[in-house]
A and B are shown apart, each in its own frame.
Chain A
């Protein structure tokens, strides 16, 4: 999967068709490399510039609120854009024609429902195939469902998608600028369960073009960061001092042949060194890898392919596949508060493991070689764990090994 150097598209082992025409001197037009699957590599910042060049000075980039007097379709006079004179000027027609256009193309011409008709109800005499299908579905739902409402997962999914829309920062310095790029990044969970073999669960994070890679790294919540090392059967009350996140601070991103290592703290190590040494040990056909510091790069500096799987590795061996799915210019209706980015807009709902005893609370302890437990390993919530394994004075009963357990569904 390695490339020889960023910016020059070469064959990427995974199955793409070789494109013999190299991108002409840094051509940054995103184009499909594998149709419908991923694009060739291009420079993010340059791509943003290409769009901005095309849209500058025409109001498309503006993030300003529409003036209150602008009533869509009515041509509120206050906004110069809606003025008939402006229309006439832009289209090269006369004023009379402009007025006529406003009437002919008004939104009232698109009205299909009467005043009193409810948009929830499907009209009786419709020819539309879509509505026919939907009607059948609704009828089926009415027949089979006792209560027809959204489940928790759906509510969560919708909330996550839309909770930040339109948010403005309190501090105007935190406002996102016009022409800023928003990248949409899918971070797949490391595979833990068999049932996820076919469709790997992922979370989607929106990140700004001028944000550093380290900001994305900090915003990725992975359960392996919260692991607490150590056996605590003898000292269940001792609050563990460090979670893995504090101890093992190293991480890297891999994009297009370069490993971006986190080097902010002295404890951070170059995890990519092992891979690079391995690749250089023999001629494995991967070309030269490079390393760089994660904190020195923003997303605008990167050369990446859209839709192509890259890697995020932390905790030494916890690997996440990272796919950048989309890049676009910031829009007036987006969340405009810089401090809220990287913004999580989608996450996979994971069912948490419940305590074996009460089946109610999420498991916080896992035991091995436990004489009291029917299973090895066995999961317990805090209360049940103590009740079963310790007497009223807090003495350990029986033989077992106990470890603190952090469920992957903790982040729900």
Chain B
């Protein structure tokens, strides 16, 4: 069937209304559910076969919103949505929710977070679904039947629901930056040590700009600022002051700065994906936003790193030879 027409619009409507309530309580969700009469989505003289297919598609659609990269509130909303759809479906026996192995660990982590932060209603609902045996434990999220002719549909991630992209922050931690600075210093010292004139290293060895770290920091701060401004134009002024304050900070927060700075560059580079030409379509870099990638993600990430470093290098043409 593919996605039934209008279903995605309805689900996103419900989720965005839930997002506006700024709450994660089931009471609020169920109030919205009742006001939209979402349970009637199964009404309308569907015969058995169509009912089965429709319900399967509905559950698969709602499931997508339950996994990263969606924001926490959206994920909670998706869980409530799944609960609602599962219990109001008209199929007998009930259609189940498919869980792939690679997503299960992420889900358990999510559940643990819920319990730790005392979001008991969310945890209760997840527990209830599990006790109801609402899940099918599968290898992959959907059935793969190698239909070559059908266009491969990359389901687009709804931007408004996405978690603000801090994966980059997680990637470039302050530890990594500390280490980079240490390496840089060591390198500079090494140059001094091995050159004949102790104070002035050999000119042929100046392959790295000495102040590249400060440059990165500035770029990243700018980017972070831009990111913030894009989201909240009213905070623009506030941000500028904050930036100035940050300049004169102590060593500790400088490393966080550096973390942020580097993170900014990377996120800026990553956010832009060049559309490959038709002949290079198979090497199309895609913006992979799923956290739960393991080995396969690794390869694409490495490739992406190379490509985006290249593009980053091209952008910063004024700072030539920024050897990262």
Write the residues of chain A forming the contact surface with B, with a CB cutoff of 8 angstroms: 15, 17, 19-21, 23-24, 27, 29-33, 35-40, 47, 50-51, 54-55, 58-60, 66, 72-73, 81-82, 87, 90-93, 97, 101, 104-105, 107, 109-113, 119-123, 126-135, 138, 150, 154, 157-158, 161-162, 165-166, 184, 186, 198-199, 306-309, 323, 325-329, 331-333
Contacts and interface: CB of A to CB of B under 8 A. Distances in A.
Contacts of B63: none
A341 B102 CA distance: 28
A211 to B, nearest CB: 17
Given A93-B118, A331-B96, A154 B47 contact: yes
Interface stretch (B85-93, B166-174, B238-246, B265-273): B85-93
B144 A113 contact: no
Contacts, number: 227
B37 A87 contact: no
A150 B298 CA distance: 49
Interface stretch (B129-137, B175-183, B223-231): B129-137
B34 interface: yes
A327 B140 CA distance: 8
B60 interface: no
Contact of A110 (B39, B96, B98, B135): B39
B145 interface: yes
A111 B30 CA distance: 9
Contacts of B132: 72
Nearest to B296: A31
Contact of B47 (A54, A150, A162): A150
Contacts of A39: 139-140, 144
A130 B5 contact: yes
A145 to B, nearest CB: 12
Contacts of B139: 30, 39, 47, 306, 326-328
A15 B40 CA distance: 44
Interface string B19-59: 00000001100100110111111111111110010000000
B109 interface: no
Interface in B116-141: 118, 120-121, 123-125, 127-128, 130-133, 135-140
B137 A328 contact: yes
B50 to A, nearest CB: 9
Contacts of B48: 150, 158, 162
Interface stretch (B149-157, B192-200, B253-261, B310-318): B149-157
B115 interface: yes
A198 B149 contact: yes
A127 B36 contact: yes
Contacts of A47: 101, 139
B100 interface: yes
A326 B47 contact: no
Interface in B97-112: 98, 100-102, 104-105, 108
